[in-house]
Structure 1
Amino acid sequence: MANLIDQLEHLTEEILTKEELAELLASKKKLTHYIGFEISGLVHIGHVSSLNVVKPLQDHGAQSIIWLADWHSYINNKLGGSFENIRTAAKYFEHAMRAALLCHGVDHTKVQFLLANDTYTMKYWELVMAVAKNTTLSRTKRSLDIAGRTAGDSIPTAILFYPSMQAADIFFLGVNIAHAGMDQRKAHIVARDARLPGFQKPVSIHTHILQGLQKPSIWPIPEGDPLQTAIALKMSKSKPDSAIFIHDEPDVIASKIKKAFCPPKETKHNPIIDWTINLILKRDKTFTIERPAQYGGTLVINNPQQLIALYEQEQLSPVDLKNGVTQWIQHFLEPAREYFKSEDKQKLLEQMRSMVITR
């Protein structure tokens, strides 16, 4: 029990709450875990990173569900707000998520994939209304950033349903561990505070949001809400150079990372530092950077504190860090590239690339 809690603490930014998770594990109840995704474009390394908890949960007997949220995508106007596009994209998205799971060593055949439109019943819509009745309008408006929106008179009314729908997903699926990126935590708070009779409050685990590779539109970043800053810096499917896609070839990965924003001595708003800490060092105990002897020789990084100190003191250059990260990412995504080499997967990928991708 303690081992799983320790693993999840290492891999996530937040567990709501650690005590509740301990109680759940002690109860010996079957662990049921879900993470939901809008179907909104090509799957990138940020999606892969968010799946880092599936392997330890699977190893501890949990049933994991990947929820393909087509109705949420439609409400949020993804892929042009076309249900036809979203349904076509859902086929690609399932395969891309299976490929992403392979990168973490997960047996993807034991993960359940559910498309919302194929699963919803009248019971679900009753749960949406129950959550909405227990959630104030002001709380709903404050939660709209889970859909990348802010409250205002110009937003479609449908967006107001989004937080209650996402919370209702948890109760409808009957899961006891709800999982999402930190940008989705407000939806989990809505679910935890709904207090629906006959339903348990879910344990919520939240993973880090990887920064996009491009230089922020405003630099330097003003101090403010850390979560809103993270959301503003995250990678975007609609900006290809800000993200590494799971099926990118090694030369494409190298080119994108070579062009990435990586200012010397800056460790807070630096995507290459961010990826090293929150992807590489969360997965591996050490990170090795090969350098010529005249530039310091091989460097083994054991923890984020060491990385930050070396970079801030300019004992590790942006070029050497980028080279090390490039090699690691190329190797890490190899199972996904292999998965997408078949003719049918390539066809799905080409269909996706032909669609209008919205953020």
Structure 2
Amino acid sequence: MASLTPKEKIALITRNLQEVLGEDIIADVIEKQNRPLKIYWGTATTGRPHCGYFVPMTKLAHFLRAGCEVTILLADLHAFLDNMKAPIELVQHRAKYYEFLVKSVLKSIGVSIDKLRFVFGSSYQKSEAYIMDIFRLSSIVTEHDAKKAGAEVVKQVASPLLSGLIYPLMQALDEEHLGVDAQFGGVDQRKIFTLAVENLPSLGYKTRAHLMNPMVPGLAGGKMSASDPNSKIDLLDSAADVEKKLKKAVCAPKEVEGNGVIAFVEYVLIPISELGAEDGKARFVIEKDGQEIVYETIEKLKEDYIADTIGPKELKVATTLALNKLLDPIREEYANSPEFKEIEKLAYPPPPAPEKKKKEKKIGTGYVAKKKGEVDGQAAPTTVDLPVAAPGPSTPAAQGLPGPYLRFTEAIQNGKVSAARDALKAIERIGVAPAKLRELKGQLSDLEGIDRAGRE
């Protein structure tokens, strides 16, 4: 806002952040250059956005109030590179869906989207200049450093793809190609931010500031994640689903550390209530024994929770009411927008139904046909019609193979990732031809990718 002093702007920009790298850069832009700070926040368009997205949205509101020029990067190519979470066609639909939902979230908390710039990564990341910069950066960043930078952001697997190494290089380069002074993200991206600070100057590009939000605990404890349905509430969940999930949330009495419900109040509900208040004061209301208790600070709420003045039940009820109030306009916009509904269906199509197994017909004649080569009193030798390694001194007998192989095939058909992994391990122990093993591992990898995309 124009009425804020430079120091007030900096204080608002850095409020509630866990860490800031290069605060002197921010001060130089605002105090010495006397111009708006240019900042961007990027999100890889993979799983369904959840209520944890209110945390960065609240900070975007702070940035705008401080007069910053804010860019939102819908990182569709990053999503494609993140261990093939989804094919490129699906990722493009999801990027559009994210645009709909992010705009709806911002409007629900009173942020004008007219001052925001939305950019799709694919709109500039395929340019000649950008590709050349990837080559240049890859010539000075080691494989070890690239892998380390993406360790907490890129999906980690036993056999990582090369795309996971390109991902952090691109995120670093986005700072230059979006023309910003600072990048904003979660503290889990700190290693990528450090990669940018250490290497962009070698390409002749300036060092940027980096602002980091804390990672909000999920409802089940641990990090709130799009891939864990028990840890998060989706932005389009019904009021009944919100209530159900919050009732099940981990919320130990008198404990505030790692308490996902209190963290949500601290980083979402209280800051958002402050944004909408005319006097600029936060207001979170908890009802107990027919009386309203109004909290203006999270410190007072935590103090009362530790003292057992308020308990998990009252906290969950109040959080449910406040969250559903935030989600109501988002759900309403979705319900009234055919385009919003259509892009949601394209972005997250239902998983294919598992194939029904055909039942074998059994003819109850009581007659058991002899196998080929069988003679009276002597069974024919069992054979396995699989391209497997011949049994040897260290290889179990071939007749042990059908069980694990059939279990693997059935697990793949029914989308059971864990069962498929177990069956594949059994097949490896028995011994299988290398070509066939590669084929089976490829099938498992495809299933894991589909499973992650579906859960997110």
Report the TM-score when normalising by structure 1. 0.87
Match of 2:264 in 1: 275
Where 1:268 maps in the other structure, the secondary structure is: coil
Match of 2:159 in 1: 154
Of 62, 66, 73, the residue aligned with 2:72 is 66
Provide the C-alpha distance between the structure 2 equivalents of 1:54 and 1:339, rounded to a whole number of angstroms: 21
**Equivalent pair of 2:29/2:36 in contact (CA under 8 Å):** no
Of 189, 193, 204, the residue aligned with 2:194 is 189
Q: After superposition, what is the alpha-carbon deviation per residue over 1:148-187, rounded to whole angstroms, capped at 9, x for unaligned?
A: 445x862112211121111011111111121111111211
Provide the C-alpha distance between the structure 1 equivalents of 2:109 and 2:84, rounded to a whole number of angstroms: 27
1:78 Cα deviation after fit: 5.0
Where 1:51 maps in the other structure, the secondary structure is: helix
Match of 1:331 in 2: 325
Q: Within 5 A, what are the aligned runs for 1:73-88?
A: 73-77=79-83, 79=85, 81-88=86-93
**Equivalent pair of 1:11/1:282 in contact (CA under 8 Å):** no
1:263 Cα deviation after fit: 1.4
Matched, 1:34 2:40: yes
Q: In the alignment, residue 53 of structure 1 is paired with which amino acid?
A: K
**Equivalent pair of 2:229/2:455 in contact (CA under 8 Å):** no
Provide the C-alpha distance between the structure 1 equivalents of 2:318 and 2:344, rounded to a whole number of angstroms: 28
**Equivalent pair of 2:147/2:164 in contact (CA under 8 Å):** no
Moved more, 85-94 or 103-112: 103-112
Q: After superposition, what is the alpha-carbon deviation per residue over 1:99-124, rounded to whole angstroms, capped at 9, x for unaligned?
A: 12113322113322211112221111
Where 1:140 maps in the other structure, the secondary structure is: helix
Of 237, 244, 259, the residue aligned with 1:248 is 237
Q: After superposition, what is the alpha-carbon deviation per residue over 1:34-54, rounded to whole angstroms, capped at 9, x for unaligned?
A: 111111121111122112222
Provide the C-alpha distance between the structure 2 equivalents of 1:12 and 1:337, rounded to a whole number of angstroms: 29
Match of 2:424 in 1: none
**Equivalent pair of 2:236/2:331 in contact (CA under 8 Å):** yes
If you compute each CA radius of gyration, which structure gives the higher value, 1 or 2? 2
Matched, 1:302 2:296: yes
Of 338, 341, 351, the residue aligned with 1:343 is 338
Report the TM-score when normalising by structure 2. 0.69
Match of 2:311 in 1: 317
Structure with higher RCO (Cα < 8 A, 6+ apart): 1
Provide the C-alpha distance between the structure 2 equivalents of 1:322 and 1:78, rounded to a whole number of angstroms: 37
Provide the C-alpha distance between the structure 2 equivalents of 1:11 and 1:125, rounded to a whole number of angstroms: 36
Gaps of 5+ in 1: 217-232
Q: After superposition, what is the alpha-carbon deviation per residue over 1:240-270, rounded to whole angstroms, capped at 9, x for unaligned?
A: 3321222222222112111111111221111
Where 1:307 maps in the other structure, the secondary structure is: helix
1:315 Cα deviation after fit: 1.4
Where 2:119 maps in the other structure, the secondary structure is: strand
How has the CA–CA distance of structure 1 residues 289 and 268 changed in structure 2, closer, same or farther, with 3 Å as cutoff? same
Provide the C-alpha distance between the structure 2 equivalents of 1:136 and 1:109, rounded to a whole number of angstroms: 41
1:143 Cα deviation after fit: 1.3
How has the CA–CA distance of structure 1 residues 245 and 189 changed in structure 2, closer, same or farther, with 3 Å as cutoff? same
Match of 1:223 in 2: none
Match of 2:414 in 1: none
Provide the C-alpha distance between the structure 2 equivalents of 1:117 and 1:38, rounded to a whole number of angstroms: 12
1:133 Cα deviation after fit: 3.5
How has the CA–CA distance of structure 1 residues 172 and 89 changed in structure 2, closer, same or farther, with 3 Å as cutoff? same
**Equivalent pair of 2:83/2:160 in contact (CA under 8 Å):** no
Q: After superposition, what is the alpha-carbon deviation per residue over 1:163-218, rounded to whole angstroms, capped at 9, x for unaligned?
A: 1111011111111121111111211111112214542211111112222212x4xx
Provide the C-alpha distance between the structure 1 equivalents of 2:84 and 2:185, rounded to a whole number of angstroms: 19
Match of 1:46 in 2: 52
Match of 1:262 in 2: 251
**Equivalent pair of 1:68/1:116 in contact (CA under 8 Å):** yes
Provide the C-alpha distance between the structure 2 equivalents of 1:99 and 1:317, rounded to a whole number of angstroms: 33
Provide the C-alpha distance between the structure 2 equivalents of 1:309 and 1:63, rounded to a whole number of angstroms: 37
Q: After superposition, what is the alpha-carbon deviation per residue over 1:282-314, rounded to whole angstroms, capped at 9, x for unaligned?
A: 333232112224xxx321223232222221221
Match of 1:137 in 2: 143
RMSD: 2.1
Provide the C-alpha distance between the structure 2 equivalents of 1:66 and 1:307, rounded to a whole number of angstroms: 33
Provide the C-alpha distance between the structure 2 equivalents of 1:274 and 1:78, rounded to a whole number of angstroms: 31
Provide the C-alpha distance between the structure 2 equivalents of 1:352 and 1:197, rounded to a whole number of angstroms: 37
Provide the C-alpha distance between the structure 1 equivalents of 2:196 and 2:61, rounded to a whole number of angstroms: 25
Provide the C-alpha distance between the structure 1 equivalents of 2:238 and 2:19, rounded to a whole number of angstroms: 33
**Equivalent pair of 2:106/2:112 in contact (CA under 8 Å):** yes
1:30 Cα deviation after fit: 4.0
Moved more, 202-211 or 332-341: 332-341
**Equivalent pair of 2:38/2:180 in contact (CA under 8 Å):** yes
Matched, 1:101 2:98: no
Aligned length: 337
User: What is the percentage of aligned positions where both structures have the same residue?
Assistant: 25
The runs of at least 4 consecutive aligned structure 1 residues that moved more than 6 Å come to: none
